[in-house]
């Protein structure tokens, strides 16, 4: 299904007067403070976040999975879902595929479909954390770190194939997340596992096309509960350096032990030109993969403040690849993703309001109170009218959730796909 532009315009009409009122008020306030509202709007419209192909169905836990009606059951339908998100929000102009869950059958048809929705293919994700049907070797005891050479070779070969698949779609990066680690003390030799991982990554790196990037994701625990080979940003950074210029660290917000200062990690990586990719989500305890901004919106703002500073001051760091990595056990996955996209844009807009010059001055004067005032003044500003304006000007919805509901998108998807469709790949 596709959203009809004239029906979207009708939905917007209901919100138009209120929006205009709020926007004019905010825009005046910001202009008086010296903000360049036009340039903020342009930055918001340019900010595109990839949707992972595995986030479009209802996720689940090891205790069960409660499906959601009208889920996409093939790659074409997943791309259509991202198309719906992009039409409404104008900020989801990319999809990130997971191989082998989403191997295209007809490449040119898939590219054409994505193109018709104005969607590009962002990073491709390999999978050496599950055994595939008819695979010769098992990843039970690890993949790139395995003590058995033929297991490592199979995992390296898989990553090479993922690059080839991505290349045919126009992707320019490969994300590697490894489940490798150990469940019990003594089970694995840390040094051997790390050395094997480094050597395997270097072999994959050799097959990377020149204009590609390799993103190395880290995570402290889960699925292994004693040790993980790439447990933190330092390990990822070290491995990226060992591979070369095209290798980078990827930060997933949920992959930190409680209270870790993620904004400081972001700053360090950008200073060193090594922040390649970003996975957005939120969490209370661990890798919860909750809706972005649902638990710790102030932390998200502080992280964006570091990102904005880095994007403006660190030309040595490439523009990062943004992706949502969340899972939806209870909500309609599309509504959940709309909420995540909104939270990302909101934190970004607030960070853009921070007066960096004033902040630097206050830091140099050691005016700690002023520093906090500057950050919190930006954080306390209700920037939603800016988001609405940016979306409206790009042809999206003033209020995407309202439009999604009033246009009865889910009802239409259920009519089209049935009540018991199950998202493929899960």
**Contacts with ligand AOS, residue ranges (CB under 6 A):** 54, 98, 125, 177, 217, 219, 252, 279, 287, 325
Smallest separation, CB 138 to Zn ion (Å): 22
**Three-state secondary structure call for residue 76:** helix
Given the complex with ligand AOS, which of 122 and 325 has the nearer CB atom?
325
Given the complex with Zn ion, which of 325 and 342 has the nearer CB atom?
325
x/- letters, 261..290, toward Zn ion (CB under 5 A): ------------------x-------x---
Given the complex with ligand AOS, which of 97 and 110 has the nearer CB atom?
97
Helix (H) or strand (E) holding 307: helix 297-313
CA–CA dist 212, 246 (Å, integer): 7
Q: Residue 125: which of Zn ion, ligand AOS, none does it interact with, CB under 5 to 8 A by kind?
A: ligand AOS
Given the complex with Zn ion, which of 57 and 396 has the nearer CB atom?
57
CA–CA dist 203, 332 (Å, integer): 41
Are 336 and 327 contacting, i.e. CB atoms less than 8 angstroms apart?
no
Closest CA to 328 of 340, 316, 320: 340
CA–CA dist 381, 298 (Å, integer): 12
Binding to Zn ion, residues 185-224 (CB under 5 A) = none
Q: Residue 232: which of Zn ion, ligand AOS, none does it interact with, CB under 5 to 8 A by kind?
A: none
**Given the DSSP bridges, would you call strands 120-121 and 227-228 parallel, antiparallel or unpaired?**
unpaired
Tell me the two tokens of residue 207: 């097959």
**Three-state secondary structure call for residue 246:** coil
Given the complex with Zn ion, which of 153 and 288 has the nearer CB atom?
288
Are 137 and 150 contacting, i.e. CB atoms less than 8 angstroms apart?
yes
Q: Residue 98: which of Zn ion, ligand AOS, none does it interact with, CB under 5 to 8 A by kind?
A: ligand AOS
Tell me the two tokens of residue 310: 């880095």
Q: Residue 246: which of Zn ion, ligand AOS, none does it interact with, CB under 5 to 8 A by kind?
A: none
How many residues touch Zn ion under the rule CB under 5 A: the total is: 4
Given the complex with Zn ion, which of 71 and 287 has the nearer CB atom?
287
Does residue 81 touch Zn ion according to CB under 5 A? no
Closest CA to 259 of 235, 292, 283: 283
Provide the β-strand partners of residue 279: 252, 323
- For the chain, how far is it from start to end, CA to CA, in angstroms? 22
Smallest separation, CB 226 to ligand AOS (Å): 17
Smallest separation, CB 73 to ligand AOS (Å): 18
Given the complex with Zn ion, which of 80 and 252 has the nearer CB atom?
252
Given the complex with ligand AOS, which of 336 and 388 has the nearer CB atom?
336
Smallest separation, CB 3 to ligand AOS (Å): 28
Q: Which residues contact 384 (CB under 8 A, 6 or more apart)?
A: 22, 346
Smallest separation, CB 74 to ligand AOS (Å): 18
Smallest separation, CB 169 to Zn ion (Å): 20
Choose which of 71, 102, 198, 252 interacts with Zn ion (CB under 5 A).
252
Number of other residues whose CB lies within 10 A of the CB of residue 176: 27
Given the complex with ligand AOS, which of 98 and 196 has the nearer CB atom?
98
Smallest separation, CB 1 to ligand AOS (Å): 26
Provide the β-strand partners of residue 214: 174, 247
Smallest separation, CB 103 to ligand AOS (Å): 14
Q: Which residues contact 67 (CB under 8 A, 6 or more apart)?
A: 57, 58, 420, 422, 423
Tokens 């009708």 — which residue?
A: 10
Provide the β-strand partners of residue 64: 61
Q: Residue 410: which of ligand AOS, Zn ion, none does it interact with, CB under 5 to 8 A by kind?
A: none
Residues that bind Zn ion (CB under 5 A): 252, 279, 287, 325
């Amino acid at each position: 299904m596709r959203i009809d532009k004239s029906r979207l315009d009708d939905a917007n009409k209901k919100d138009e007067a209120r929006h205009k009122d709020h926007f004019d008020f905010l825009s005046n306030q910001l202009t008086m403070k010296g903000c360049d509202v036009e340039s903020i709007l342009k930055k918001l419209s340019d900010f595109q976040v990839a949707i992972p192909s595995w986030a479009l169905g209802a996720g689940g836990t090891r205790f069960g999975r409660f499906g959601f009606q009208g889920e996409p059951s093939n790659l074409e339908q997943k791309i259509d879902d991202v198309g719906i998100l992009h039409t409404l929000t104008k900020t989801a102009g990319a999809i990130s595929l997971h191989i082998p869950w989403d191997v295209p059958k007809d490449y040119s048809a898939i590219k054409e479909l994505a193109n018709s929705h104005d969607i590009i293919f962002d990073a491709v994700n390999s999978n050496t954390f599950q055994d595939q049907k008819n695979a010769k070797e098992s990843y039970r005891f690890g993949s790139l770190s395995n003590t058995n050479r033929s297991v490592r070779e199979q995992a390296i070969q898989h990553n090479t194939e993922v690059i080839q698949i991505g290349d045919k779609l126009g992707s320019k990066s490969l994300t590697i997340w490894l489940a490798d680690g150990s469940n019990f003390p003594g089970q694995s030799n840390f040094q051997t596992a790390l050395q094997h991982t480094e050597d395997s990554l270097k072999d994959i790196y050799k097959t990377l096309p020149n204009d590609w990037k390799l993103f190395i994701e880290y995570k402290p625990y889960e699925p292994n509960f004693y040790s993980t080979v790439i447990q933190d940003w330092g390990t990822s950074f070290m491995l990226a350096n060992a591979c070369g210029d095209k290798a980078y660290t990827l930060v997933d917000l949920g992959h930190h032990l409680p209270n870790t200062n993620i904004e400081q990690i972001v700053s360090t990586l950008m200073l060193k030109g090594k922040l390649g990719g970003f996975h957005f989500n939120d969490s209370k305890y661990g890798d919860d993969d909750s809706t972005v901004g649902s638990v710790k919106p102030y932390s998200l703002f502080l992280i964006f403040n570091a990102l904005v500073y880095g994007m403006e001051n660190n030309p040595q760091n490439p523009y990062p690849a943004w992706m949502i990595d969340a899972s939806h056990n209870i909500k309609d996955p599309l509504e959940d993703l709309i909420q995540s996209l909104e939270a990302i844009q909101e934190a970004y807009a607030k960070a853009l309001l921070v007066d960096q010059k004033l902040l630097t001055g206050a830091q140099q004067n050691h005016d700690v109170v002023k520093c906090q005032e500057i950050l919190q003044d930006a954080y306390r500003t209700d920037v939603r009218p800016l988001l609405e304006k940016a979306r409206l000007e790009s042809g999206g919805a003033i209020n995407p959730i309202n439009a999604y509901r009033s246009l009865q998108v889910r009802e239409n998807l259920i009519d089209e796909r049935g009540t018991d469709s199950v998202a493929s790949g899960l």
